[in-house]
Amino acid sequence: MKSKKSGQLRSIFAHIVLIILSFMCLFFFYILFINATRSHADLQKGFSALPGNYLFENLKNVANDGTFPMFRGILNSLIVSGCSAAICTYFSALTAYGLYAYNFKLKKAAFTFIMAILVMPTQVTAMGFLRLVTNMGMYDSLLPLIIPSIASPAVFYFMYSYLQSSLPMSLLEAARIDGSGEFRTFNQIVIPIMKPAIAVQAIFTFVGSWNNYFVPALVIQSKEKMTVPILIATLRGADYMNFDMGKIYTMILVAIVPIILVYLFLSKYIIAGVTLGGVKE
């Protein structure tokens, strides 16, 4: 009887904690929405828990701002984030498959080298990267924001760990005996098995690329090629006389909509990617 009551108390306590955490997470989105519905003058008056009537006015001001290409910036971010997520997950899975499925002399050295790159911050190589991009004629283009996504040590390690727990070598050997080529085996056998892991990493790569500010700020110069974080920073750094907090909050609200949609459509794969992994021979 006591164990039953203690179990009920633990369940109640767990639900209370989850409710508090959910409120803390959603509260900031609510405040963002509230601020996006208020004018600059109302925002200067202080905090308000009730929405205003300026949401569509703020949207119109942002969309019709000739010096602020909102729709072009969203399109640029979608192109960069989508392409980055696609090539990052595919080539990281391909690299992980190569190290997992083959035994060669430098296998451990290659794995160690990739893991060493993982701990190297982006800021350390920023100047060398910028010089390389300039010498290759790719400055002020979207290519430097997409191509480096091919090499992602963190995604590689996740894919490699997933293969270790989900892909039996006997399956690969059976495919080879049947005459299947390596790329055909990877594309038609390995990729479907890794679908949950690929979906999870695609979400994280998409969000990380969408929110990336440092690299685009280095290589993007013209406004028509700017991504959403750069455009938001441009609004924030506008002239004081033309500074409009309502436009900034509205742009941030618009910017997080694609991320929310990606999570809504693919979040189920996060649980699948964590729970799946049992090997069935």
Q: Produce one character per residue of 116-136: b if its CB has 16 or more CB atoms within 10 Å, e if not.
A: eeeeeeeeeeeeebeeebeee
Tell me what the pLDDT averaged over the chain comes to. 83
Average of pLDDT values for 123-147? 87
Let me know: does 158 contact 204? Beta carbons within 8 Å.
Answer: no
Residues 6+ apart with CB under 8 A from 68: 62, 223, 231, 234, 235
According to the model, what pLDDT value does residue 279 have? 42
According to the model, what pLDDT value does residue 84 have? 93
Query: Angle CA(97)–CA(103)–CA(106) in degrees, nearest 5?
Result: 100
Residues 6+ apart with CB under 8 A from 41: none
Domains of the chain: 2-54 (no CATH), 62-275 (1.10.3720.10)
pLDDT per position as a tens digit, 21-64: 888 888 888 888 888 888 878 887 877 778 888 888 888 888 77
Measuring CA to CA, which residue among 208, 205, 206, 192 is closest to residue 97?
192
Give whole-number Cα distances, 127 to 13, 123, 133, in Å.
Answer: 51, 8, 10
Gap between the Cα atoms of 48 and 155, Å rounded: 41
* 122 HSE (CA, 13 A, CB side): 13
Question: Model pTM greater than 0.85?
Answer: no
**Per-residue confidence band for 169, with pLDDT thresholds at 50, 70 and 90:** confident
pLDDT per position as a tens digit, 184-224: 888 888 888 888 888 888 888 998 899 888 888 889 888 88
Residue 5: pLDDT above 50?
A: yes
